[in-house]
Each structure stands twice: as structure tokens, then as C-alpha cells.
Amino acid sequence: MYPFFENRYYDDSEVLIELGINKQFPLHFHEGLELMYCKSGEVEIIINENKYLCREGDFCFTDKYDLHSYDSLTPSEVIFVVLPYDFIRIFDEKVHNYSFERNMITKNENTKKIERLMSELLSADPSDIFLIKGNFYLLYSEIFNKVNLVQSGKTSDDTLREILIFIQSHYTEPLTLDQISKELGYSKYYISRIFNSYIHANINDYINCMRVRLAAKLIVHDNMSISDAYYTVGFTTQRNFNQAFKKYYNATPSKLREQKFYPDQNIAY
């Protein structure tokens, strides 16, 4: 499965706090900061191609637009907190041109305070923004105290994120590798190499995948007609749409509509 942009936020105050049981989630990225505290079990977390084995008492975190996924290797319970960018703006300005040297704090580094703060967030009233922000600031203080900041120049990870964010903003429009190259100022050969190296797909396949995912939502969830859906998401012919749809879902659009289900329906776009 290709990485996707997860769009959960309908306003700047919406926060996701949940207890994940045996959680698995494919490679994705979003504008918010994500915090993960492992209460039990073992979870493999990949962040920008760095692999972390998160066990009971361990804590992982991602920055905005970090590519990440998680996969429970044993029965597990993990507290997940995803905060919109508005919450982290003040810290983002502080660490401009810097990054954390790692994305994990282990139980051996004393995560008792982190455990308490994450547990309080889990039981908090979602409307109590002051408590949520207060606990988040204390958690971010723990990250600053336990993980070194290192000066970071532009990396391939940064270039990939730039490409993915641009595609996310324009994939329902006519979009080609040449256009992406012109808009971002990189050669199309460099873009292709970076993209293939990280995503293991060509850009056209990725764009069509994004379009098909959105089309499935429009057809199954929003009850849009198939002809309107393929045009809305950026396909120019129904033949090309049907081919891409079957390639990704191994089913026709009408079949998924009959089933009233599509595999990515729990993903927010």
C-alpha cells in the first residue's frame, strides 16, 4: 500500500486521542504531531524509514509530515494522540532547521511522567482544551529534555515529503511528472529516483491510487454516480478509471457499491 495523507482535521482545535488495541496502520503522514505510548505488547513503528520496536513503557513521537506506520507484533495496547499543527506551532518555530536525533524514548529513560500525562489525556474530556494543551506542553518538555536536537540540512526525506504534499494538493487536477518538476524546481529524473527509492512505485501509479481511493469514498460513502466520481477525482476517461480501480481494489466500482464497503473506509482524506 502506498503512503497517504491522513486528513482528520476539520478545525484547528480537533484532537484525536484513542487507545489502540492490536493497532495496525499503513504508511501515512499528516500535518499534526503524533504521540504514542505503549501500555503493553510490542509494536513495530517505522518513522521516515527508521524502525523502532516499541515495548511496554516506551514512547514514540512523529513530527509534522513524517512518514510513519505501525504494526502490532504481539497483542498490544497503545495510547495514540494526534494534535493539529496549531498546537505545535510555537514549538515548530523553536526547532526550525533542527530535528530530533531519534523518535523514541525508552522505559529505561524513565517514562513514568510520560505515562501519567498520556493516561490523563486518554481520560480527558475532549472539550477541555486547556488540559489537553497543558499536558501536551509538558510532554513536549519531556521530549526536549530527553532527546537531543541536531541541525538538519535538507534531506531526501524532506524532498519526498515536499513531493507528496504537492501531489496531495493537486492530484484531482491534471498532473504529470513534468508539471511536478516545473513547480518544485527539481529535475524529473531526480524526482523519479527519490520517489521510486522510497515509495517503490512510479508517480503516475501513485497519483492514480490517490484518485481511486477518493473515488471509492465518493461512490460508496457519498453515493456519487460513477461517472461523476471519476471526473471529480481527475480521470479523463471511464476506461482509464475502471482499469486503475480494478488494479487497486481488484473489483469494479459497481461491485464495491453493492458491497457498501471499501477497504480504506476507515482512512480520513
CA distance 97 to 216: 39
189-212 tens-digit pLDDT: 999 998 888 777 889 988 998 899
CA distance 169 to 131: 33
Grid cell 486518554 is found at 122
C-alpha closest to that of 94 among 66, 63, 118 = 63
Domains in the chain: boundaries: 4-151, 156-259
264 band by pLDDT with thresholds 50, 70 and 90? low
**How confident is the model at residue 181, as a pLDDT?**
94
Pairing of strands 33-40, 50-55: unpaired
**How confident is the model at residue 12, as a pLDDT?**
43
Is the pLDDT confidence value at 160 over 90?
A: no
Q: At the top level of CATH, which class does the domain 4-151 belong to?
A: mainly beta
φ, ψ of residue 234 to 5 degrees: the values are: 115, 0
Total Cβ atoms within 10 A of residue 264 = 18
CA distance 44 to 53: 5
43-68 tens-digit pLDDT: 999 998 799 999 999 999 998 778 89
Is the pLDDT confidence value at 105 over 90?
A: yes
Total Cβ atoms within 10 A of residue 211 = 24
Q: Which CATH architecture has domain 156-259?
A: Orthogonal Bundle (1.10)
